[in-house]
Structure 1
């Protein structure tokens, strides 16, 4: 059972309809969804499912087997009937903060060219990115660099390449801890900046804002040592 992932083409969809393929204690599988399934350091989306005669809160969307997305429900929630049409409603405020955060992490990569990320975690309130960086600049330097990139309001877009094209350009992968999913024959890219001269271009299946100006105020709150060379950069957003 494969779930069509609507957010790959439009991360701004807040509502949609879908058909129930399966429903059990492990969650609800739909034929399509706008809920991002947890992966790559980004949490799964939350929200609501509504159908004729009932509704249920989605606690988090997670990956299932063979391309399925499982919508795990709040404890005690009713299950929709298999075959029923359901209306999907996204917890937009939470998702949008994840989008702003995720794009900010890509901007952090852009100000450290040639430096690989070794781990990451995205959250609605705070996020962090780890780098193989023995002597990082001060946190104020990062904050100033990010503020300039946000103020420039660079466009953010997506595209696709083949797995063979990625193999020919391995430097496009900026993270050592998370590798792009393979097996579908193509890899999704997220580009920040103009297509001819991007500021950042790397494989990513996550959700992002459409321009850096939408991120708003961002601050590197602290730097943390996580080993001899590993440095953790913590970021927070304004409202």
Structure 2
């Protein structure tokens, strides 16, 4: 029951027509295509709604299923569209766009703090990365200033694909310590910030991002917390 992930080709597509291909025993809906991003990589699943002739439901989130399926999870137990129904998927675009802004900002944070990343999470108002950092940074304001300077450069954000073998041969591309990018399909998606002359970051990522860094807006650095002997959690906020 593979679902075509439309968000992978166009993170700005907020609506599509799709066909219901299966219903899960738990009350989830699987379609042949999806603009809904499923929870993964620290990024929450999208919410929104489904409309079809004679019915409509709110979607609370989306999650990954087996064999490449994306399962849309209704916000409440209601009558589901039967298999074969043509539905219109509509994202909560404002929420998705905030996730995109925070996600791209976190990639830039990993540039400003060039240390291994041990964890992370993306929200609609803030996000955080956990770094392998034994001592807290001396100047939090300097981190904020450098981060916003990168954002203001209005760098292009794009993606590319490399083979699993090429990624294994270049382990420096992987910044996360605890989670390896998903492999086994033969290729891995890379997200690039900047172009040939202005590139500042290139790393594996399956999430959604803004098209240019200026779209993020200004970022404020929040708490820097100790989370273990060698771990510091740095939180960013959308201003």
Same fold, judged at TM 0.5 (above): yes
Distance 2:184 2:55 in 1: 37
Q: How far off its partner does 1:140 sit?
A: 1.1
Higher mean C-alpha deviation, range 187-196 or range 2-11: 187-196
Matched with 1:181 is 182
In 2: Cα distance, 1:121 partner to 1:194 partner? 26
1:158: Cα distance to partner?
A: 0.4
- Map of 1:162 onto structure 2: 163
Deviations 1:160-197 (A, max 9, x none): 00001001101100011322111210000000011355
CA contact (8 A) 2:27 2:77 kept: no
Q: TM-score by structure 1 length?
A: 0.96
Q: 1:157, 1:210 within 8 Å by CA — same for their partners in 2?
A: yes
Unaligned runs of 5+ in 2: none
Provide runs of 4+ in structure 1 moved above 3 Å. none
Q: Answer yes or no: is the 8 Å Cα contact 2:153–2:214 preserved in 1.
A: yes
8 Å Cα contact 1:57/1:77 also seen in 2: no
The 5 A counterparts of 1:40-59 are 40-59=41-60
Question: RMSD value over aligned CA atoms?
Answer: 1.1
Match of 1:127 in 2: 127
Q: Does 1:33 align with 2:34?
A: yes
> Alpha-carbon deviations, 1:197-221, whole Å to 9, x = none?
5200000000000010000011111
Q: Pairwise mapping of residues 77-226 of structure 1 onto structure 2 (< 5 A)?
A: 77-113=78-114, 115-137=115-137, 138-196=139-197, 198-226=199-227
State the distance in 2 between where 1:198 and 1:58 align. 37
Q: How far apart, in 1, do the equivalents of 2:126 and 2:155 lie?
A: 23
Deviations 1:71-123 (A, max 9, x none): 0101123201100100000000100000000001100111123x110000100
Residue 232 (structure 1) shift: 0.2
